[in-house]
Chain A
Amino acid sequence: MIDILQIMLSESFWAASLRIATPLIFGVLGALLCERAGVLNLGIEGIFVVGAMTGWMAVWLGAGLWGGVLVAAIAGAGFGLIHAILTVPLGLSQHVSGLGVTLFATSVSYFTYRTALPNVSSPPRIEPFGALDIPVLSDLPFLGPVLFQQTALTWLAILMVAIVWYVLNRTALGVAIKAVGDNPASVDAQGLSVYGLRIGAVVAGSALMALGGAFLTMSAFDAFFFGMVNGRGWICIALVIFASWRPGKALLGALLFGAFDALQVRLQTEVGAFLPSQVFLAAPFVLSIIALVIAARSADYPRALLTPWFKGQR
């Protein structure tokens, strides 16, 4: 027990938690935005891959780091648009379309990578985002090392939490997004476009998801590997429920998962002799499922989630 306490009091543990949480923060926010408008986006796993691949490739081809981020967001938005068109005006099954987008986006990313780099054995590296050093603040005890080891993308993720919260709770646009996810007829009867709002939310949400992927290749690592997204998208889908579709709780959920993951890595080295490493690898997922079961019992789903809407239908 002492070990765990020691781990949890260390600066490096919290810095790692925040780092692991960053792609999840982007992903949960993106999924939350889509679902608040009434569209489940299971394309998230594939959109992560697209973001990771395109962001990295843009930089590798000579773009600046922020140019890469922009490319990733646009590519993610593009795949989001496919999902939005299939599910919103065409009203196809959101599950089927989402899984289709994930398969398509993943394969296209791998294909593009392989085609562009047919003969490489070790993935080419780029110069990733470095730690954002803010004078004075980074010298603070404990907080300084935890916060100021982080890269600009982590800060962007936290800023996004605030922005999404503000939009949903303080603007007319947010009110309309929440309304279209609860009862599309309420939006239509007030002269707003159900399709416009839903497509917009899915496209914006997908761009956020792609940033989660971009973080992996441009900040956490410095190259693109096959299989590097490794289920992070699916975790976000679960975390949205844990977060009750609220940005603040989404941040909390992502940090919680990040902390579980950071903890298991450290425990592996401490007590790895007694238990097989797979137990530790599985631990964050098991703990997430438990947290989810507790939180989801009272989950208040957006009422129109998964329900397509057609104008003028009886």
Chain B
Amino acid sequence: MTANKVLSLEGLSKRFGSVVANDDVSLDLHRGEILALLGENGAGKTTLMNMLFGHYLPDSGSVHVAGEGEGLRPLPLGHPQAALQAGIGMVHQHFTLAENLSAFDNIMLGSEPLSRLRRDRAAGRTKIEQIMTDSGLRAELEVPVGRMSVGERQRVEILKALYRDVTILVLDEPTAVLTPQEADTLFENIGAMAKEGLSVIFISHKLREVLAFSHRIAVLRHGMKVGEIASADADERTIARMMVGADTPEAERESLEPGAPVLRLENLSVVGRSRRDSLSDASLTVRRHEILGVAGVSGNGQGALAGVISGLMPPSAGTVVIDNDNVDGHDPLTLIRAGVGRIPEDRHRDGIVGSMSVAENMVIERLDDPEVQTRGFLKRDAVQSHAETLARDYDVRGPGVEANARLLSGGNIQKMILARVFERSPKLILANQPTRGLDMGAAAEVARRLLEARSRGAGIILISEDLDEILSLSDRIMVIHDGEMIEADTRDRETLGLMMAGEAA
């Protein structure tokens, strides 16, 4: 194996301020190998790959890449251009595509000299066609990327890397936005390319796909490499233990009889700014003691559904009934008063006011409460001690309740939001992607709190792209696709995946 080593990372370290993102990480990659880089959020996977690709300059360490002829040679660090020239391509988790340009222009960008007065479009097109045939990845070249689905954009991203004649392809969470079928197809294509000699590193935290498609697994924890294992010798339990450092207990789920309905949506339609955030004629019921899981690939109307329930978007038709009362005013305050607790999808943008303190954020939904203010003046001591109690109960860690909320980590922001929501004992909880981007420990805590609220008698609507999360928490499952909602009477991954892709409607 050592003979065909194509890449070697040695002792890479990177700090951001006081945070150590990577600490002395070394890693090898061989020709034709698919290496999975696994770890919790914040374990330093993306940072490591960004150093390899030249987006970040490491504080110490070196990278060697196979070049022409024998042996490895050092790669100049901190320059994407150098990485590209050395045959390293990276597909970023957040696509680096210009949406106003066609797929063709995005692929060609940077590969042609900027001083040239004419472009050789025909030659570029021939080469791309060849790559599409070889890789099995297809995309409409003349369509602006802004009009493409996420699956298509992903393919354009990969084609863009392949166009630069890469021998090493880095994929950062390539399946985060794909349906299970799209993900499987993607990995089949990657597997075929690896057989042709392409070396691949992919970042993931989905154990299933890591086990199914990689040859070798490297696990990062707290910025350090904690182990490497051949995929054939691994199982979900062992790698989960490597990632977290301990076994995580599955959340206990007591069996409960659903009670009276707390939320009924009847023939609800929402006209959003685009089809992606619209709903057409959706009906659903959530009862007490019940978690309704809404599965679907993002951008299929989840935003509109969450928008209506949280009072941010008015429906164009249909009714919203909460606890047998018709909701007339479609503004957030009406819905909060009606007993809706909201865990927003983008917790940084919609869940907190980053420039206000943790304590202030914790009372921000109850500023009319006499416990919090008198005649418009905040009771600072009450707010402070209230926040300290909540932070203790919900294990919100960070620089203290007086600090700005934006200084908290993602997991602690989410715990703070949970504290704010659950303190009010809401009848209905809207949990929109509640564990997205959280590490396993924090995600388990969110799941436990949701199940606790369910036992208490709340109805919960859980919107998630993570099918495993939906399957483990939900009493009933609905699938949302292209603004339409269908009740799923199966818990079979395959069937649900097809429904999410709109193929078994």
Q: How far is the CB of B337 from chain A (nearest CB, A)?
A: 35
Among A172, A173, A314, the most chain B Cβ lie within 10 Å of the Cβ of A172
Q: Is the CB of B113 within 8 A of A189?
A: no
Segment 297-315 of B: residues with Cβ below 8 Å from A: none
* Chain A residues with a Cβ closer than 8 Å to the other chain, count: 25
Scan A237-277; emit 1 where CB is below 8 A from any B CB, else 0: 00000000000000000000000000000000000000000
Q: How far is the CB of A18 from chain B (nearest CB, A)?
A: 29
Answer yes or no: B194 CB below 8 A from chain A CBs. Answer: no
A253 to B106, CA, bound (A): 30
Q: Is the CB of B98 within 8 A of A186?
A: yes
Answer yes or no: A227 CB below 8 A from chain B CBs. Answer: no
With A170-B119, A190-B80 in contact, is A176–B110 under 8 Å at CB? yes
Q: Is the CB of B80 within 8 A of A189?
A: yes
Among A183, A185, A186, A188, the most chain B Cβ lie within 10 Å of the Cβ of A186
Q: Is the CB of A187 within 8 A of B110?
A: yes
Contacts of A185 in B (CB 8 A): 92, 94, 96
Contacts of B246 in A (CB 8 A): none
Segment 62-119 of B: residues with Cβ below 8 Å from A: 78-81, 83-85, 90, 92, 94, 96-101, 105-106, 108-119
Q: Is the CB of A175 within 8 A of B56?
A: no
Contacts of A175 in B (CB 8 A): 101, 105, 108-109
A187, A189, A190, A314: which contacts B16 (Cβ < 8 A)?
A314
Q: Is the CB of A171 within 8 A of B97?
A: no
Contacts of B53 in A (CB 8 A): 189
A312 to B97, CA, bound (A): 17
What is the size category of the interface that chain B forms with chain A? 35 or more
Contacts of A178 in B (CB 8 A): 98, 100-101, 105
A175 to B96, CA, bound (A): 15
Q: Is the CB of A171 within 8 A of B105?
A: no
Q: Is the CB of A183 within 8 A of B80?
A: no
Answer yes or no: A182 CB below 8 A from chain B CBs. Answer: yes
Q: Is the CB of A182 within 8 A of B98?
A: yes
Q: Is the CB of B106 within 8 A of A186?
A: yes
A314 to B19, CA, bound (A): 12
A258 to B294, CA, bound (A): 57
**B79 (CB) vs chain A CBs: closest residue:** A191
A172, A189, A302: which contacts B108 (Cβ < 8 A)?
A172
**A188 (CB) vs chain B CBs: closest residue:** B80
Q: How far is the CB of B344 from chain A (nearest CB, A)?
A: 22
**B160 (CB) vs chain A CBs: closest residue:** A190
Answer yes or no: B57 CB below 8 A from chain A CBs. Answer: yes
Contacts of A176 in B (CB 8 A): 109-110, 114
Q: Is the CB of A183 within 8 A of B99?
A: yes
**A304 (CB) vs chain B CBs: closest residue:** B98
Answer yes or no: B55 CB below 8 A from chain A CBs. Answer: yes
Q: Is the CB of A189 within 8 A of B116?
A: no
A182 to B101, CA, bound (A): 9
Contacts of A312 in B (CB 8 A): 55-57, 78
A110 to B99, CA, bound (A): 43
Contacts of A300 in B (CB 8 A): 100
Segment 113-162 of A: residues with Cβ below 8 Å from B: none
Answer yes or no: A15 CB below 8 A from chain B CBs. Answer: no
Q: Is the CB of A188 within 8 A of B99?
A: no
A172, A181, A186, A189: which contacts B114 (Cβ < 8 A)?
A172
Scan A295-314; emit 1 where CB is below 8 A from any B CB, else 0: 00000101100000001101
Answer yes or no: A192 CB below 8 A from chain B CBs. Answer: yes
With A171-B116, A188-B55 in contact, is A182–B109 under 8 Å at CB? no
A171 to B113, CA, bound (A): 10
B94, B100, B106, B119: which contacts A172 (Cβ < 8 A)?
B119
Q: Is the CB of B100 within 8 A of A182?
A: yes
A204 to B486, CA, bound (A): 55
**B54 (CB) vs chain A CBs: closest residue:** A191
Q: Is the CB of B111 within 8 A of A190?
A: yes
Q: Is the CB of B116 within 8 A of A172?
A: yes
**B117 (CB) vs chain A CBs: closest residue:** A171
Answer yes or no: A179 CB below 8 A from chain B CBs. Answer: yes
Contacts of A186 in B (CB 8 A): 96-98, 106, 109
Q: Is the CB of B109 within 8 A of A187?
A: yes
A117 to B453, CA, bound (A): 81
Segment 29-56 of A: residues with Cβ below 8 Å from B: none
Contacts of B105 in A (CB 8 A): 175, 178-179
B57, B98, B111: which contacts A183 (Cβ < 8 A)?
B98
Contacts of A181 in B (CB 8 A): 100
Contacts of A189 in B (CB 8 A): 53, 55, 80, 90, 92, 96
Contacts of B111 in A (CB 8 A): 190
With A179-B106, A190-B110, A191-B80 in contact, is A303–B116 under 8 Å at CB? no
Contacts of B78 in A (CB 8 A): 312
Segment 188-209 of A: residues with Cβ below 8 Å from B: 188-192
Segment 45-77 of A: residues with Cβ below 8 Å from B: none
Contacts of A182 in B (CB 8 A): 98-101
Q: Is the CB of B119 within 8 A of A183?
A: no
Q: Is the CB of B98 within 8 A of A170?
A: no
Q: How far is the CB of B42 from chain A (nearest CB, A)?
A: 11
Contacts of B110 in A (CB 8 A): 176, 187, 190-192
Q: How far is the CB of A190 from chain B (nearest CB, A)?
A: 3
A138 to B111, CA, bound (A): 46
A176 to B16, CA, bound (A): 30
A312 to B21, CA, bound (A): 13
A300 to B160, CA, bound (A): 25
Contacts of B97 in A (CB 8 A): 183, 186
A311 to B85, CA, bound (A): 19
A148 to B328, CA, bound (A): 67
Among A176, A185, A189, the most chain B Cβ lie within 10 Å of the Cβ of A189
Q: Is the CB of A303 within 8 A of B100?
A: yes
Q: How far is the CB of B424 from chain A (nearest CB, A)?
A: 34
Q: How far is the CB of B77 from chain A (nearest CB, A)?
A: 11
Q: How far is the CB of A287 from chain B (nearest CB, A)?
A: 29
10 contacts between A and B (CB under 8 A): A172-B108, A175-B109, A176-B114, A179-B98, A185-B92, A189-B53, A189-B90, A190-B96, A191-B85, A312-B57
What are the 5 A-B residue pairs with the smallest beta carbon separation, nearest first? A190-B110, A191-B81, A179-B98, A172-B112, A189-B96
